[in-house]
Chain A
């Protein structure tokens, strides 16, 4: 079968649409771009499933075992956290996780967003293809406020005295 010139043009356009444009789309996400927060990722419309995204957040808790060679790291931003599936080697780059006494490393990931991941029982997750530590975690200040102890102890003493008065009165007139 001979292809005419218009036919060749149409075939070339189709090939570009099928192969080149998704490639361009992937190429559009760079680690240096403005990242989404985890809250913004969760708020994406449901047709975002399968898209490659750039997200940045604070690593919290700890990394959890996923399978041989992979870990789960939960990244927090704007009070929402999203689970990221990454290689154990990438997870080892993270030195600090957010807890009461510390802020975790700020981690930027490029990865595929799965709103209902077929590989992980329908979880909302991101499969990371690139992981970069933007900044290391810090110690979290939890200031001690002595007035709380002073007021608390005074109130406890007041309560103790009140209870002793109650016991005294009850002993004097039980019924």
Chain B
């Protein structure tokens, strides 16, 4: 039965959206401190403006509901969908004021791209951007990578009931610890461990390469966040090409792979069960896909007769397949080279890797290895069932944090999400082509946006059509939420204009 939204429900949702917006305002204190620390007084004012805006708007929204309320599952879905948009809108204010964006829409594009850990950017003159603005862009990866709901839950910000519904609404599969607040804190703990390790090693690399220590530490921190949170932003317009270092690539690959692993798997390994790492179906699917697609990319490079050194072809191929598969989007080639120099199999392999995505319950986007594994298993199951006698009962098992039996519900859910991603990828590609871009680059960019990757074939730029900017923003948002929360929001919007007898369950 469809349940219609009431004014009271809207007030509850707006109240919690307001809390998210205030949270974004509080997070702006870190780039403000960075601006003060590095004497970037012009940029400091952008954060005073941004934080003030977030506090005023956020508190006004909080005022819409003054009684203590409990969130229902439907509230959680709509709140999550709206929360990401509202947080992006507030986060875009200091970026828009920075002078590095052509319009507020461009700044909003970057804020949404940052929070959804996509990494596509419309920034201008990035190489002269203030440290504080780069701190904010990368901090958005950190907040969004864990999930803004996870960020709020870990602080237990004003949430009374409905916490687990919110956690699930953000595309997480299951809780790691019995209490959802402890679960979200564990996610932050794992993130902190990897970001600290990455920052320390990359600081050493940067200093060795010749960066000043105060600059080297910031770059190390930002790249660690962008790689672990599978974001893809970088403080220089050349992205990962700027650093010219094998060691840099090695450390960022380590962080990307760690970031794309399921947080539950991190927890199992943390508890001492290292065998789970090799037995887990997700890990196996990821490893198989990455090896296959890296080989295909290397073959594509060889076919394009570009790299004379096979080692370089393998190195470039593996780096970009890992960057694409993990949903990170760091790149060491120019966007125009994908079609102009490499083309064919390499391009196809990178698109397939982006579309597939990382593990479930991770910071990565895309279809996810668990769903691909479940779908493959169900195909095998169907074939077995066709060959078996009519009276035989066929069961299929797989290992994912323990032995599990394949159920029709799992197969259906996985298939639905795969179809929805496929429709989103193709639709975005068709829209890009309708704007006059080549089919290959339009599909590449569409998959990159919807799977929250951030690799670009060159379409994403401040000069791209406004309509296409909005399409990619929509794709980044709906891809990050894995459809259900966003579709619930649309359904409620449609139902608001239809007569109904019901009300939301609470």
Contacts and interface: CB of A to CB of B under 8 A. Distances in A.
Interface of A: 42-43, 45-46, 49, 60-66, 71-72, 74, 76, 79-81, 83, 98-100, 103, 115-116, 118, 120-124, 140, 142-146, 148-149, 151-156, 158-160, 162-163, 165-166, 169-170, 173-175
Nearest to B59: A162
Contact of B312 (A45, A63, A118, A154): A118
Contact of A142 (B42, B67, B312): B42
Interface residues of B, number: 66
Given A115-B306, A122-B309, A122-B315, A64 B243 contact: yes
24 contacts: A43-B336, A61-B236, A79-B237, A83-B241, A115-B306, A116-B308, A121-B312, A121-B315, A121-B316, A122-B313, A123-B241, A142-B43, A148-B46, A152-B45, A152-B50, A155-B49, A156-B55, A158-B56, A162-B59, A162-B62, A166-B62, A170-B67, A174-B67, A174-B68
B45 A144 contact: yes
A99 B45 CA distance: 19
B48 A153 contact: yes
Nearest to B462: A79
Nearest to A174: B68
A144 B46 CA distance: 10
A142 B52 CA distance: 22
Given A46-B341, A79-B126, A152-B49, 17 more contacts: A63-B210, A66-B244, A74-B238, A79-B237, A83-B238, A115-B306, A116-B307, A118-B312, A121-B311, A122-B315, A123-B241, A124-B334, A151-B49, A154-B52, A158-B59, A159-B59, A162-B56
Contacts of A144: 41-42, 45
B36 to A, nearest CB: 13
B332 interface: yes
B238 A145 contact: no
Contacts, number: 176
A62 to B, nearest CB: 6
Contact of B128 (A80, A99, A148, A154): A99
Interface of B: 22, 25, 40-43, 45-46, 48-60, 62-63, 66-68, 97, 124-131, 208-212, 215, 236-238, 241-246, 306-309, 311-313, 315-316, 332-334, 336-337, 340-341
Contacts of A166: 59, 62-63, 66
Nearest to B21: A159
Given A118-B308, A155-B56, A72 B333 contact: no
Contacts of A174: 67-68
A156 to B, nearest CB: 4
A71 B210 contact: yes
Nearest to B332: A123
B340 A163 contact: no
A149 B128 CA distance: 22
Nearest to B69: A175
Given A79-B125, A152-B45, A173 B67 contact: yes
B210 A153 contact: no
A125 to B, nearest CB: 8
Contacts of A79: 124-126, 237
A98 B62 contact: no
Contact of B127 (A63, A76, A142, A152): A76
A167 to B, nearest CB: 9
B307 A81 contact: no
B244 A149 contact: no
A146 B41 CA distance: 10
Contacts of B130: 100, 142
Given A64-B209, A118-B308, A148-B46, A155 B53 contact: yes
Nearest to A164: B59
A173 B65 CA distance: 11
Of A45, A152, A174, the most chain B CB neighbours within 10 A belong to A152
Of A74, A143, A165, the most chain B CB neighbours within 10 A belong to A74
Given A66-B244, A74-B242, A144-B42, A156 B124 contact: no
A96 to B, nearest CB: 12
A148 B308 CA distance: 54
A93 B59 CA distance: 55
Contact of A64 (B52, B63, B244, B341): B244
Contact of B336 (A42, A71, A148, A173): A42
A61 B313 CA distance: 28
A170 B158 CA distance: 12
Contact of A80 (B210, B237, B341): B237
B246 A121 contact: yes
B150 to A, nearest CB: 24
Contacts of B25: 159
Nearest to A58: B127
Given A63-B210, A100-B128, A170-B66, A72 B244 contact: yes
A142 B97 CA distance: 12
Nearest to B44: A149
Contacts of A140: 128
A98 B316 CA distance: 28
A95 to B, nearest CB: 15
A153 B238 contact: no
Contacts of B62: 162-163, 166
